[in-house]
Amino acid sequence: MTDDARLLMLVDRQEIHDCLFRFCRGMDRFDRALFLSAFHTDAVIAAGPYVGDVAGCWEWAKPLHEAGQVLTHHVLLNHYIDIAGDTAHSECYYQFIGRNHPWEEGGGETVMLAGGRYIDRLERRDGSWRIALRTNVIEWSCIQPSLPPPFGDVPDISANGRSARDSSDPSYQRPLVNHRAPSKP
């Protein structure tokens, strides 16, 4: 393989990684446009019990996460990509972490943990890599109790901005500004 071909392969791999990251960030920040940008408009996705088109998956998943969790983290881990021309097959391990709303009046929060693999067929169309078909293989899950606040001796750093599931999240701030006072020695 020539150096030019190797460089193009690296660029393709990075664009595929970016595609998967758009999916995760879009779901965690409830950014519909970002979520949808990871998929071709005719893509089919299997996520838990849902199998169908991507817009339908958004309409199923967002209310589910809104009702169930205060926040979510979709974390990508090991990632294998097999690229052949304008088609790629990808296997990406993931962990899902959800800080759950209390299930009953006066009950404590719980944390849902799950792991598995996103198995995708991606296609480059009009120069853009996006997911054309996704199968989500859930391999384990559990629910654990949350630690009560203030989490031991951890200082309150919420003045820097609280996590939000929309564009008010600090990650959307441009330019990023630290709202906390400098630490004293």
Domain regions of the chain by residue span: 3-148
Statement: residue 95 has pLDDT above 50: yes
Report the pLDDT value the prediction gives residue 1, as an integer from 0 to 100: 87
Rounded mean pLDDT of 108-123? 95
113 Cβ contact list (under 8 Å, min separation 6): 95, 96, 97, 98, 141, 142, 143, 144
Report the pLDDT value the prediction gives residue 105, as an integer from 0 to 100: 73
Statement: residue 184 has pLDDT above 90: no
- Taking the C-alpha atoms of residue 73 and residue 169, their distance in angstroms, rounded to an integer, is 14
- Taking the C-alpha atoms of residue 76 and residue 82, their distance in angstroms, rounded to an integer, is 17
Q: Residue 147 corresponds to which tokens in the numbers above?
A: 């630690």
How does residue 147 score in pLDDT terms, banded at 50, 70 and 90? Answer: confident
Statement: residue 181 has pLDDT above 90: no
Rounded mean pLDDT of 117-123? 98
Rounded mean pLDDT of 96-114? 87
Q: What is the mean pLDDT of the chain?
A: 90
> Minimum mean pLDDT among 38-42, 82-86, 114-118, 165-169: which range?
165-169
Asked if 65 contacts 22 with a C-beta cutoff of 8 angstroms, the reply is: no
Q: Report the relative pairing of strands 87-100 and 69-84 from DSSP bridges.
A: antiparallel
CATH number of 3-148: 3.10.450.50
Nearest to 58 by CA among 127, 164, 134: 134
Statement: residue 150 has pLDDT above 70: no
Report the pLDDT value the prediction gives residue 161, as an integer from 0 to 100: 61
Neighbour-count burial of 184, counting CB atoms closer than 10 A to its CB (0-12 exposed, 13-18 middle, 19+ buried):
exposed
> Which residue do the tokens 């990406």 mark?
92
